Structure 1
Amino acid sequence: MNFKKNIIFLLVLCTVIRVNAQKKEGILVRAGKADTEIASTMWGVFFEDINMGADGGIYAELVKNRSFEFAKPLMGWSVKGKKIAEGDVLVLNRQENQVANPRFLRLNVNAAMKGDVGIINEGFKGMGIKKGVRYDFSLMYRQQRSHVTLYVSLTDEQNNTIAETHFKLADTSGTWQKQGMSFDATDASGKAKLNIWFEGTGLLDLDMISLFPSDTWKGRKGGMRSDMIQMLADMKPGFIRFPGGCIVEGIDLANRYQWKKTIGPIEERQLIMNRWNVEFSHRPAPDYFQTFGLGFFEYFQLAEDLGAAPLPILNCGMACQFNTAEVVPLEQLDPYVQDALDLIEFANGDVTSEWGSVRAKMGHSKPFNLKYLGIGNENWGPQYVERAKVFQQAIKAKYPEIQLIYSSGTDPDSERFRYLNGELRAMDANVIDEHYYRSPDWFLKNAGRYDQYDRNGPKIFAGEYAAHVDGKITGSNRNIWQAAIAEAAFMTGLERNAAVVNMASYAPLFANTEGWQWAPDLIWADNLNVYGTPNYLVQKLFSTNKGTHTLSASIDNKSISGADQLYVSAVADRTKKEIIIKLVNTDTESKIREITLDSWKNIGSSGKLTVLKGNLTDRNSMENPALVSPQEQDIRLKGKTATVTLPPNSLVMLKVKYN
């Protein structure tokens, strides 16, 4: 019995000693000594049309292959009816007479009743239809003779009609016209189809067959999916990088992104195959194309909506080096450089300038206030450096105020990276873009990566990063708390080094639950729903609480970057009069820390704690979108000290007001 009592006494004594030791190891935040002003662009978002991010994603068009320009002209469409003879349905190609949109569909309708002749569109993995929402149907047509009535309906998975309307095509002049009709959905479906039946007699040419919900972002006709964009707005991003990513490079130069082909009237924007169509044999996407309904004008407009700085990336005369690795000869690089100069004029130029007038005609007379421009994406080698220098010389000569962002390749540790880092610094680069897709352990070990970077050298853009867990895990299962908390620990290092790191963005941004090619991803969506991953919640917490100035947070005058599995950063928000401290505990045991706010007057007597925690394998999902979610609570301070409990595997944020 005495032996058992002694054992219990020793266990209690050890617990008391451990708790007391934790309390003694206090964190000192020198709250009266602001270190560095934090760039307004510190935390942003990076959008690329991957994983059905644009078509079938944030671009709210519901009709797949609306202009019959896919590699297979009727992909996504099926022809139905009992009164269709050979030659009644043809795909015509205008070729060089209309390069941007050469194909259209010709239908010969002969004394048809409803149900005799029709075309059906399957949408992007089906169509997401919401009960009570108005849907706007439109098409371009050319009618050679007589009048034909169109019966337009939406049917659900059981072929029940959930929306319908009909109208006559009014014009018989033989010239292209646009006509449409709106109707309300009486029920919801995540896998609806669009049915168009033709009644009467006539010869019809059809193109740009379109269906949009009316509840788009800001109610814009032909706009973006509001629930997905709201997820971005909730992050309050400081910038939005677009349009990529690897689609900027293209598989080859013919497949590269060309911004001038993405502006102007929708029917004049030239579709191309999305390079993710064929990139991964284990995730084929033969119906993945870029229609460019979401083009550069819409990206600039979205940045303005979000209050974010626009950050376009342009091709530098190099195709993806993992694919064809094509390069444009230096003597033929001028058109690529001119595209960059013209883009700056499109964004910022007066309405009397050539490209500023194009912007104005699209409905935006005021400049978009472009300040940043990326030269290439994940390019490397001397062939990149020599092309980057050509861009630098031309752009700085005409627009010295534009901050140019340069690629440092695909990884942060290789000889390629070290070569580019040296060359770009010798060029006096404004900003160097570093990418890291690495294990959670890499992120934990590299939280202090920028502690020793030159404060007077180029700024750093952490342009693409994500913690990748075991490769045997696929899809949204990769967005687990283990990855998110490792990213949070790394982000404390980015925030602590805001003197060097001016921009950072997770990648990729969006993924369709059925149409993804790459994982993990920040936000997952299907045709009706969207949810944020634990990684999203970490990004949102940092982005909405970035403060205005860094503060020193230390234990024994040392920054806290992994010692005892603890990572800490601190900032002040001089506008909101707040001190904000972020603490990441990657230990399997809880910790208690006393946080003392040094040198401040009039510290509030209470604060707010926000806690994100979970088991390492926890993830959010469509079925349980809030499994990992922030919890808030009040905390009382004792003088200038707050005693904070850090649960195992947690991100904790303390906010205290001051006067």
Structure 2
Amino acid sequence: MNHSCKIKGASKIIGALGLLMSAASVYALDLEVDASKSLTKIQPTMYGIFFEDINFAADGGLYAEMVKNRSFEFDTRMMGWKEPNSSTQSFNEQSGIANIIHTSDNKTNKNFARITINNDKGYELINEGFRGMGVKKGEKYNLSLKAANHAGDIKKIRVQLIDKDKKVLAEASISPNSPQWKNYSAQLTANATEAKAQLKLSFEGKGDIDLDMISLFPEDTWKNRKGGLRKDLVQLLYDLKPGFLRFPGGCIVEGRTLAERYQWKKTVGNVEDRESMINRWNKEFAHKPAPDYFQSFGLGFFEYFQLAEDIGASPLPILSCGIACQFNTGELVPLAELDPYVQDALDLIEFANGDLTTPWGKVRADMGHPKPFNLKMIGVGNEQWGYQYIERFKVFQAAIKAKYPEIKIVSGAGPFPEGPHFDYAQAELKKLNAELVDEHYYKDPKWFRENVTRYDNYDRSGPKIFAGEFAAQSVATVSPDNKNNWETAFSEAAFMTGLERNADVVYLTSYAPLLAHVDAWQWTPDLIWFNNLESYGSANYYVQKLFSNNKGTDLIAITNQGKPVTGQSNLFATATKDENTQEVIIKLVNTDSKPQTLSINIKGAQLKGSGTLTKLTSANLDDLNSFEKPKNIYPVDTKFNAKGDKLSVEAGAYSVNVLKLKVK
């Protein structure tokens, strides 16, 4: 991959960026906006969210569970757990020990821990969490566990949150009173804020007790759902006003092998009955191995659909097409054995949309959502390539359309935006009358600026485009040194003007990946960064937010000397109107090192006299947001009055600008 080309001569912005200038100013470019004619409708799904469980995005991230390996199902059964007072003594002298019992009685949750307390020397069982546990002073945390106190010898389980010095941050207790498996709960209130807390269990009594599903959640989750999602992360997603939510990936759909593919049916029903599995990003990259990266599937397909509903997004699930990741094994399901994979797709549509009389519709209803999720789209495969993909896609396409003709099917064009695999997929999918083709672009910033006209000459009678994964790479694709710097963000903004300007062809777009834990990431750059306590949006996040929050309903023309604004003087522009708010919306991206003063003539609409200019900018290409400066690059709004049909705007150096103009 080419390294990004750095624009030379970065300078400080002179004067107030983006302020409206007087009519006497000298204009770099004269722009004309024609509000009289709608060129095409902007799809409600134009700007959305791509979610994949990479970078600890689900367990340890969006899914608010704080206990790692809560049911002892990891390949290393005690991973995440410590017994500090146990391992250095002989068994007879040990204070206690945890033995993992494997049972065939439960096909999914196969293991539990048998805790043997030998004496009163202070046996402790400690969970380290996902790179620690974030607790905040005054906040409440709900613990639950299953216990079987067979002989009644264990009188109490003391539950504590502790810091690195073993200082107690919160405490509660449980009295296990049943020889049979029983659920217990307790609430802890933190007396201090700590990003790297741990959960400690200690015991009163001598004898054996069995434990399973040891779980800890903040009480303050999104919509206060028990066992729910992390509130600050969902809020960042909600604020994007996304048109769709694509889930669960990404390469995680495929699996390194078919046995490790994502199987949605294993992710619904009771949480404790969902079968844990290794995460495919566990050992993918030598630069960031994560041997403790597993999937509990507490965030499963029901929760994904529910999240989409919560944030006002159309759900877009992606399913395995019977090909494991071709960058790994490329394992294939023979065509004669593809039926179960196809049936998974048909059953998923029933799960999402079926009424209560259908088997999978009843499963959804029993989980607490009797109303359908209104699924309209489904994806077949992630970024597979070659004839093997096309011949399998044909089978899915025929089966889905035969039973659910109204469902739109997303197909894939492979992992790259050009080359023989891409060209082959495009040609074959057109023959099949494919509806939506997923294209991916991980390129340097210069590529994004130079490919703004990519869709200008696409066949208008061919498939529509889903720009499903894109992100400018500051160093090189898959490099651990990539940063969410300002150059990547405004270069993506320039490219997005080309996506929006071709809204008759481009129906969906999404940045990728979405989330990254600062202590447990595998891939950079990423849209949103978080630790155990905090989160922030990158500069790229605010670019996405500006476009998504200001997409409008109709594309209209903005031109310079009769031509679309696609890089003249390093300026990129697009214009829409919003029929609901009676506004004209103009997006201006200046990728030059100098500010540009622009004259804009509005035709076909009279300005009402008020408007908003939103500016996103930074003086240096390498600037970025961080936990220390989460709003280092952040949108700034300016109100202004405008009359008649002309206005003058200064687009600052390296800036993304959105003008919203009230019109009559």
- Map of 1:460 onto structure 2: 465
**TM-superposed deviation, 1:637:** 2.4
Give, in whole Å, the separation in 2 of the partners of 1:539 and 1:495. 12
Maintained 8 Å contact 1:612/1:651: yes
Separation (CA, whole Å) in 2 of partners of 1:202 and 1:365: 46
Contact 2:476 2:482 in 1 (8 A): no
Residues 89-115 of structure 1 show CA distances to partners (whole Å, capped at 9, x for unaligned) of 3111114x32211111111224x44x6
Residue equivalent to 1:61 = 65
Report the 3-state secondary structure (helix = DSSP H, G, I; strand = E; otherwise coil) of the residue aligned with 2:122: strand
CA distance in 2, matches of 1:178, 1:347: 30
The aligned runs of 1:201-600 (5 Å cut-off) are 201-471=206-476, 478-600=483-605
* 2:104 equivalent to 1:99: no
Q: Secondary structure at the match of 1:495?
A: helix
User: Structure 2: which amino acid aligns with 1:171?
Assistant: S
Tell me which residue corresponds to 1:155.
Answer: 162
C-alpha spacing 1:473/1:380, structure 2 compared with 1 (3 Å): closer
Partner of 2:6: none
**Equivalent AA in structure 1 for residue 484 of structure 2:** N
Q: Aligned pair in 2 of structure 1 residues 473, 276: CA closer, same or farther (>3 Å)?
A: closer
Alignment of 1:117 onto 2:137: no
Kindly state the Cα deviation for residue 613 of structure 1 after the two structures are TM-superposed: 0.8
Q: Which stretch of the first structure deviates more once superposed, 40-49 or 146-155?
A: 146-155
Aligned to 2:44: 40
Q: Secondary structure at the match of 1:554?
A: strand
In 1, are the aligned partners of 2:152 and 2:178 still within 8 Å (CA)?
A: no
1:24 is displaced (CA, Å) by 6.7
Aligned counterparts of 2:280 and 2:491: Cα–Cα separation in 1: 30
Give yes or no for the alignment of 1:143 onto 2:149: yes
Instruction: Please name the residue that 2:20 is paired with.
Output: none
Question: Is 1:605–2:609 an aligned residue pair?
Answer: yes
TM-score (norm 1): 0.94
Q: Match for 1:123: what amino acid?
A: G
Q: Secondary structure at the match of 2:123?
A: strand
Alignment CA distance shift 1:416-1:491 (3 Å): same
AA aligned opposite 1:158: D
**Is the partner of 1:466 in helix, strand or coil?**
strand
Amino acid in the other structure paired with 2:353: N
Among 621, 624, 640, the alignment partner of 1:635 is 640
How many angstroms apart in 1 are the aligned matches of 2:423 and 2:171? 61
CA displacement at 1:158 relative to structure 2: 2.5
**Over residues 416-447 of structure 1, what are the superposed CA-to-partner deviations in whole Å (9 max), with x where a residue is unaligned?**
10000000011000100000000101101111
Asked if 2 retains the 8 angstrom alpha-carbon contact of 1:512 and 1:524, the reply is yes
Q: Which runs of 5+ in 1 are unaligned?
A: 1-18
Counterpart position of 2:116:
108
* Distance in 1 (alpha carbons) for counterparts of 2:168 and 2:28: 69
Secondary structure of 1:409's counterpart equals coil
Shift of 1:638: 4.5
Asked whether 1:29 is paired with 2:38, we answer no
By how many angstroms is 1:63 displaced? Answer: 0.4
Correspondence 1:172-211 to 2 at 5 A: 172=179, 175-211=180-216
Which letter does structure 2 place at the counterpart of 1:152?
V
Write the letter of the residue equivalent to 1:101: N
Deviation at 1:159, TM superposition (A): 1.9
3-state DSSP class of the match of 1:157?
coil
* 1:556-593 deviations in Å (ceiling 9; x for gaps): 11001111111000000110111100000111111101
Greater CA drift, 81-90 or 604-613? 81-90
Aligned mates of 1:412, 1:212 — CA distance in 2: 41
Task: Please give the alpha-carbon distance, in whole angstroms, between the structure 2 residues aligned to 1:652 and 1:233.
Answer: 22
**CA separation in 2, counterparts of 1:379 and 1:485?**
30
Aligned residue in 1 for 2:83 = 79
Deviates more, 1:357-366 or 1:604-613: 604-613
Give 2:38's aligned amino acid.
Answer: A
SS in 1 for 2:639: strand
**Alignment correspondent of 1:165:** 172
Which amino acid in 1 is paired with 2:34?
R
How many equivalent pairs are there?
A: 635
Give the Cα–Cα distance (whole angstroms) in 2 for the partners of residues 377 and 567 of structure 1. Answer: 31
Q: 1:476 to 1:531 in 2, by over 3 A?
A: farther
The superposition leaves residues 382-415 of structure 1 with CA deviations (integer Å, 9 ceiling, x where unpaired) of 0000000000000000000000000100011111
Q: Name the SS for the 2:581 alignment partner.
A: coil
Q: Deviations over 1:33-60 (max 9, x none)?
A: 1111111000000000000000000100
Distance of 2:338 and 2:312 partners within structure 1: 34
Contact 1:37 1:549 in 2 (8 A): yes
Shift, 1:71, TM fit: 1.1
Matches of 2:216 and 2:377 in 1, distance apart?
35
What SS does the aligned partner of 1:553 have? Answer: strand
Shift of 1:85: 2.6
Which residue matches 1:7?
none
Q: Which moved more, 1:635-644 or 1:40-49?
A: 635-644
Q: Which moved more, 1:323-332 or 1:193-202?
A: 193-202
Structure 1 distance, partners of 2:588, 2:26, is 15
Aligned partners of 1:84 and 1:117 also within 8 Å: no
Q: Is the contact made by 1:637 and 1:643 (CA closer than 8 Å) also made in structure 2?
A: no
Q: Distance in 2 between matches of 1:329 and 1:477?
A: 39
Give the deviation of 1:267 after TM superposition. 1.2
Cα distance in 1 between the residues matched to 2:111 and 2:302 = 25
Contact 1:476 1:521 in 2 (8 A): no
Matches of 2:580 and 2:561 in 1, distance apart? 30
Q: What is the rounded CA distance, in whole Å, between the counterparts of 2:27 and 2:447 in structure 1? A: 29
Match of 1:90 in 2: 99
Query: Is the CA contact 2:484–2:538 (under 8 Å) kept in the aligned structure 1?
Result: yes
CA distance in 2, matches of 1:541, 1:123: 35
Higher RCO structure (Cα 8 Å, ≥6 apart): 2
- Residue 70 (structure 1) aligned with residue 74 (structure 2): yes
Give the Å deviation of 1:642.
Answer: 1.1
Q: What letter is aligned with 2:359?
A: E
CA distance in 1, matches of 2:24, 2:646: 16
Deviation, structure 1 residue 342: 0.3
Residues 620, 626 of structure 1: 8 Å contact kept? yes
RMSD (Å), alpha carbons: 1.6
On the 8 A contact 2:247/2:316 being kept in 1, the answer is yes
What 5-or-longer segments of structure 2 have no aligned partner?
A: 1-22
The verdict on how the C-alpha distance between 1:30 and 1:472 changes in structure 2, with shifts beyond 3 A counting, is closer
Q: Which amino acid aligns with 1:130?
A: K
Percent of aligned pairs with the same residue? 52
